[in-house]
Structure 1
Amino acid sequence: MVRLAGCYEAFFRSWPSYWALPSCCYAGGVNALILPVRGEIEGFTAASLGLLGTGWAVGYVAGCLRTPALVVKVGHIRAFGVMCALAAISVLLSLLILSPWVWIPLRGISGFCFAGAAMIVESWLNERVDAPSRGRVFGIYTMVNLAASTAGQMVLTMGDPAGYLFFVLAAMTYCLALLPTALSATASPSALVSVSLDLRALWRNSPVAVFAVLMVGVSNGSFGALAPVYASRVGLSLSDVALFASVPILAGAAAQIPVGYLSDRNDRRMVLIGVACLGLLADLLFIALMPGGVGANIAIVAVFGASVFSMYPLIVAHANDHAAPGSFIQVSGGLLLVYGLGAIGGPTVAGFAMTNFGNTSLFWTTGCGHVLLILFAILRMRTRAGVAHADKQAFRASPMARASTPETAALDARAEQAPGTDS
């Protein structure tokens, strides 16, 4: 009990940690769902709505790369204020100008600001957490942000998406996130983690991890951007659309427990193949059955989410098994950027496919990503032996990739440990 109380104290000791980022997650959850739902009401095409996901991913990757330099120039508090202000402005402009071609760059600004805000808040938390409590604090931090994001999506069931309410609510919540940093008298933490995309080094470390995380970016980016569009077009009500978008994330968080257990005791590539096969099964069920009822859609999408949202931490764990000592942050940050590249391309392809070939094209796109992942992992298993059990690190649950930054990797307890040896 004393240790648990200690980790809660460490978490709540930093104002930005328990107020600022959960507020941004809540606002981001509202904004991520209201845009495709409102876009459907306004008659936007699936192609244009898919480009919203592309815009967000471009902004998010740019935010991960550029925020450290911005913080060095103006400081943590000013940089965080800029992020929240720009995010609120982008939400309100989306309400004032109902055009997909305006929404796409505004969504890019939102992605940039969310990544920047997350990195700054995580640096505050990282500064105030000692090594013994790091894992527990990381878990609390992850749960709080997941709950905030889910609550933001579910709030859409309480009003009319055709009005202005949810846009204003998201903008107000971004502004509320400014309060703890503006009022805090604590010193700014050290400089943010800065990573670069070194594809050659990542590929030498683990080709499976690089290719798999790219395909997961394609799959998860497509689903995250267009799931509300699909659900709306198959006849689900607004409350059911919110469930369709939220249940997979919760299922993916819960699935990390059995996936981690299995991957610690078996070749992680084999577990990855099994999880991808489960995702492919869900893809095929959507394509073959074209379910219209609420129960069937929610059941299948829960299976889908349990698969696709548990892959990213499994891939990071596999890559870290092969990484050189002390390189966890560089490897994890590099994989996150590769994921972002997949999340840039996936929504564009899926959106244009849905516009031209129908709603199930979303799951044809995700299914192709899963098939390619499975085939490549099988090929690599035939050419490279698995990591010995003694050289493995323990699997740790982590936030889904779109809620992670290079600073998240620094907060992870594995950043304090020596990774396994090369293999």
Structure 2
Amino acid sequence: MIGSLNSVRTLLLAIFVLMAGSGFLSTLIAVRLEQDGAGSLVIGLAATAYFGGLALGAMRVTPLIARIGHIRAFAAFVSIYSATSLTYAIVDVPAVWTGLRFIDGFAMSGVFVCLESWLNRLAKPANRSTILAAYMIALYAGQAVGQFLLNLGDNAPALPFMLSSILLSLAVLPVVLTQIEQPILEKVEPFSLGRLYTASPLGIIGTLVTGIMLGAFYGLGAVFVQRIGLPLSQIALFTSCVISGGVILQYPLGRLSDRFDRRRIIIICMAVSAALSLVLSVLAVPAAIFVCGALFGGFVFALYPLCVAHSNDHLNESERVGASSGLVLVYSAGAVAGPQIGSAAMSIFGPSGLFASIAVVALAGAIFGIWRMATSKPVPSAEQQTFRSFPRTTPVPSPLDRKLGEGL
């Protein structure tokens, strides 16, 4: 396994360091806005701006990367992100921070396209699954580890932003010094959302629901923990537990979906997510909150790849890359709406409103899934595609997933 990763080790190192330096910023910014007295709606707007930038970037950065090359583009996007990280420490104005979050999202989208298209080129039939798994581990491990940088800001409020900028700057080095040949980006043909819904209603609705839930969590989870009275160190631990749980449970849930009607597993994940969200909305014991948070992350993080796999079960090989582009767009739309839904609920019901609103959304998704099971036949087991976990970033991992299927 280690030998098969030699060709991509610099890219894996880059994404780990980059996520360690950027993955905690959404939590940090939410905490700082809360400490400065900003309301839930303002905090939710900042989170929405990030996901809006991420969605726009996923649709717009490819021509730029194709024109100037992966290395230059990667260095440019990360440099922009590093600059905005320092700007947070200099300009403490919520409206400015909201604009910076939009820029962050756009820049991060460019980073994902650069790295993921590189992985597509370097993966071979014998190591595609290993590379995809290693990329997921590096991405989420960096994000989970980076959460603990929050603890360094008690006595030096600017320090976490400075450390973020340092790590982001260091993440450029493995890429600009690499001797790996730059890839040619594959053109992703558009796939209309209407056709996608016709092919797989649960796939597209499940993806939208997942975006709403995770957008709300990433935007306001830290605010929830802070408002129920837990200290900064436990905010970082809670967020890290949710991300770690998401990594651990994706594979076993995916394997189950290969053995049974995948719709059933999606419905179970949504129903359990709703139940855990309701529990989190009333819990007050830190240890119980961390355990439930890890389980919540495990079931919610699994939903996106499950919905993609379910959609792929209803599509031809040639349609899947374009469909993935549509699903990323739908997920992004949900992630944009999620912080606004969560912030509105928190304004009305207090801290518990965040997870209560997530529970309602998850329950609605589960009910829709039950309706689909009652009105349509399952895909025969022999025709189901093998589950593969990949991130909710850009459509670029889809060619990797497609080629993996061709190589098996």
TM-score range, shorter chain: over 0.9
Coordinate RMSD, CA, aligned: 1.8
| Cα distance per residue 1:52-94 (max 9 Å; x no partner) | 2111110111111111111123222221122011111211222
Query: 1-side partners of 2:320 and 2:53: how far apart?
Result: 24
CA deviation after TM superposition for structure 1 residue 193, in Å: 4.9
Query: Which residue in 2 is equivalent to 1:49?
Result: 43
Structure 2 unaligned segments of length 5 or more: list them: none
Kept after mapping to 2: 8 A contact 1:57/1:340: yes
Query: 1-side partners of 2:167 and 2:268: how far apart?
Result: 40
Kept after mapping to 1: 8 A contact 2:15/2:138: no
Which among 4, 7, 18 is matched to residue 7 of structure 1?
A: 4
Q: How does 1:31-46 map to 2 (within 5 A)?
A: 31-46=25-40
Query: Which residue in 2 is equivalent to 1:333?
Result: 325
Q: Please tell me whether residue 417 in structure 1 is matched to residue 405 in structure 2.
A: yes
Q: Which moved more, 1:46-55 or 1:295-304?
A: 295-304
CA deviation after TM superposition for structure 1 residue 186, in Å: 4.1
Which among 376, 390, 393 is matched to residue 384 of structure 1?
A: 376
Query: Which residue in 2 is equivalent to 1:191?
Result: 185
CA deviation after TM superposition for structure 1 residue 355, in Å: 2.2
Q: How does 1:207-222 map to 2 (within 5 A)?
A: 207-222=201-216
Q: Please tell me whether residue 91 in structure 1 is matched to residue 80 in structure 2.
A: no
Query: 1-side partners of 2:200 and 2:91: how far apart?
Result: 45
Which among 335, 340, 355 is matched to residue 348 of structure 1?
A: 340
Query: Which residue in 2 is equivalent to 1:71?
Result: 65
CA deviation after TM superposition for structure 1 residue 197, in Å: 5.9
Query: Which residue in 1 is equivalent to 2:300?
Result: 308
Q: Which moved more, 1:154-163 or 1:345-354?
A: 154-163
CA deviation after TM superposition for structure 1 residue 182, in Å: 2.8
Query: 1-side partners of 2:329 and 2:403: how far apart?
Result: 18
Rate the CA distance shift 1:163–1:352 in 2: closer, same or farther, 3 A: same
Query: Which residue in 2 is equivalent to 1:357?
Result: 349
Rate the CA distance shift 1:161–1:388 in 2: closer, same or farther, 3 A: farther
Query: 2-side partners of 1:383 and 1:415: how far apart?
Result: 33
CA deviation after TM superposition for structure 1 residue 135, in Å: 0.6
Query: Which residue in 2 is equivalent to 1:203?
Result: 197
Which among 69, 74, 78 is matched to residue 80 of structure 1?
A: 74
CA deviation after TM superposition for structure 1 residue 389, in Å: 0.6
Rate the CA distance shift 1:183–1:107 in 2: closer, same or farther, 3 A: same
Query: 2-side partners of 1:183 and 1:95: how far apart?
Result: 30
Query: Which residue in 2 is equivalent to 1:406?
Result: 395
Q: How does 1:237-252 map to 2 (within 5 A)?
A: 237-252=231-246
In the alignment, residue 232 of structure 1 is paired with which amino acid? Q
Q: Which moved more, 1:262-271 or 1:153-162?
A: 153-162
In the alignment, residue 328 of structure 2 is paired with which amino acid? L
Query: Which residue in 1 is equivalent to 2:273?
Result: 279
CA deviation after TM superposition for structure 1 residue 195, in Å: 5.5
Secondary structure, counterpart of 1:163 in structure 2: coil
Query: Which residue in 1 is equivalent to 2:312?
Result: 320
Query: 2-side partners of 1:50 and 1:247: how far apart?
Result: 22
Query: 2-side partners of 1:10 and 1:381: how far apart?
Result: 44
Query: Which residue in 2 is equivalent to 1:141?
Result: 135
Q: Which moved more, 1:175-184 or 1:116-125?
A: 175-184
Kept after mapping to 2: 8 A contact 1:329/1:415: no
Query: 2-side partners of 1:98 and 1:405: how far apart?
Result: 31
Kept after mapping to 2: 8 A contact 1:214/1:338: yes
Q: Which moved more, 1:188-197 or 1:198-207?
A: 188-197
Query: Which residue in 2 is equivalent to 1:259?
Result: 253
Rate the CA distance shift 1:311–1:186 in 2: closer, same or farther, 3 A: closer
Query: 1-side partners of 2:153 and 2:88: how far apart?
Result: 18
CA deviation after TM superposition for structure 1 residue 216, in Å: 1.0
Secondary structure, counterpart of 1:387 in structure 2: coil
CA deviation after TM superposition for structure 1 residue 418, in Å: 5.8
Query: 2-side partners of 1:339 and 1:186: how far apart?
Result: 32
Q: Please tell me whether residue 230 in structure 1 is matched to residue 213 in structure 2.
A: no
Rate the CA distance shift 1:257–1:71 in 2: closer, same or farther, 3 A: closer
CA deviation after TM superposition for structure 1 residue 159, in Å: 4.2
Secondary structure, counterpart of 2:316 in structure 1: coil
CA deviation after TM superposition for structure 1 residue 50, in Å: 1.1
Secondary structure, counterpart of 2:318 in structure 1: coil
Structure 1 unaligned segments of length 5 or more: list them: none
Query: 2-side partners of 1:158 and 1:168: how far apart?
Result: 11
Kept after mapping to 1: 8 A contact 2:137/2:247: no
| Cα distance per residue 1:180-227 (max 9 Å; x no partner) | 333334432112554546211211220111111101111111011100
CA deviation after TM superposition for structure 1 residue 333, in Å: 2.4
CA deviation after TM superposition for structure 1 residue 416, in Å: 4.0
In the alignment, residue 205 of structure 1 is paired with which amino acid? A
TM-score (norm 1): 0.91
Rate the CA distance shift 1:10–1:75 in 2: closer, same or farther, 3 A: closer
Query: 2-side partners of 1:336 and 1:155: how far apart?
Result: 29
